[in-house]
Amino acid sequence: MRKKIVAGNWKMNGTYTDSLNLFNSLRSSENEFPQNVEVMVAPPYLYLHDLLKIGSSKIKVISQNCSSKSKGAFTGEISVSMLRSISIDCSIVGHSERRIIYGESISDISEKVKQLLSENMQVVFCVGEQLEERKSDNHFKVINEQLISIYSVDPSLFSKIIVAYEPVWAIGTGETASPEQAQEMHAFIRSKLREVYANAADQTRILYGGSVKPDNAAELFSQADVDGGLVGGAALQATDFIKIIQAAG
């Protein structure tokens, strides 16, 4: 039985005070979170340390990104060992906004996965096809290519990997993949993982992301291979995010 995960990706939103308020609102409801759901939030780097200091036994604070390099002259970058040094032990990588807007390649993302695993960190590894790729029926091929970044992970470390399937056309658009579309792709991803990690693939959590909202979460999360969600816009409102967490229980 895979434990579901609901992760909030705050992206580049909110002032310092907004972030503290949002975190505190979530904390004040944490006793209502279902026992069988892991909850994560990924605030901007700048706020990580203070949210960790406030702390929560139910909400894990994770990073939105990390550098593909270990240290040195890389202005503006944050390394995995820096994250580790403030007790962050999980990061998102390969988000489509990083791939598309910042031009991160499959090999950049593979390096980030390696960096994270070298520090024994958990990885929320995102994949997702663009609208034209789906329209031209290339979505399975595209996702399989993106999965290359985790195919070479040492099997002993594969339990650190969480996959997030986020169709680009559904991110921030209000258009969600149908539960059937999500299930179809999640089952495909799991079948591909099984070819490489026969023993681990059935334990791997595969999250859906892309316009998850309180009113569509329960149906998405009830699909056999959908193990929770990576939530953007709706994670910025405590009441909506809490409803989504409850929908996963």
State the amino acid at position 236 in one-letter form.
Answer: L
Those residues whose C-beta lies under 8 Å from the C-beta of residue 240, and which sit 6 or more positions away, are 213, 214, 234
Which residue number is nearest to ligand PGA in terms of Cβ? 232
Amino acid at 224: A
**Strand locations in the chain, DSSP E?**
4-9, 37-42, 59-61, 90-93, 122-127, 161-165, 206-209, 228-231
Within 217-246, which residues bind ligand PGA (CB under 6 A)?
A: 230-234
**Residue 142 to residue 120: CA distance in whole angstroms:** 28
How near is the Cβ of 118 to ligand PGA at its closest, in Å?
25
Binder among 34, 55, 155, 172 for ligand PGA (CB under 6 A): 172
Binds ligand PGA by CB under 6 A, chosen from 211, 220, 226, 245: 211
Give one word for 228, left, alpha or beta, with left for phi > 0 and alpha for psi -120 to 50.
Answer: left
Q: Is 186 a catalytic residue?
A: no
Query: Of these residues, 104, 111, 129, 166, which one is catalytic?
Result: 166
- CA–CA distance, 132 with 138 (Å, rounded to integer): 8
Task: Tell which one of 40, 143, 161, 171 touches ligand PGA (CB under 6 A).
Answer: 171
41 lines the binding site for ligand PGA (CB under 6 A): no
Q: Which residues pair with 8 in a beta bridge?
A: 41, 231
Closest CB to ligand PGA among residues 88, 234: 234
Q: How far is the CB of 19 from ligand PGA (least distance, A)?
A: 17
| Shortest Cβ 232–ligand PGA spacing (Å) | 2
Closer residue to ligand PGA, CB minimum distance, 43 or 233: 233
Whether 219 is catalytic is: no
| Least distance (Å) between residue 176 CB and ligand PGA | 8
Binding test (CB under 6 A) with ligand PGA, winner from 133, 166, 225, 227: 166
Query: For the packed helices 139-146 and 106-118, what is the interaxial angle rounded to 10 degrees?
Result: 40
Instruction: Assign residue 204 a region (left: φ > 0; alpha: ψ between -120 and 50; beta: otherwise).
Output: beta
Place of tokens 């939530």: 231
Binding residues for ligand PGA, rule: CB under 6 A, are 9, 166, 171-172, 209-212, 230-234
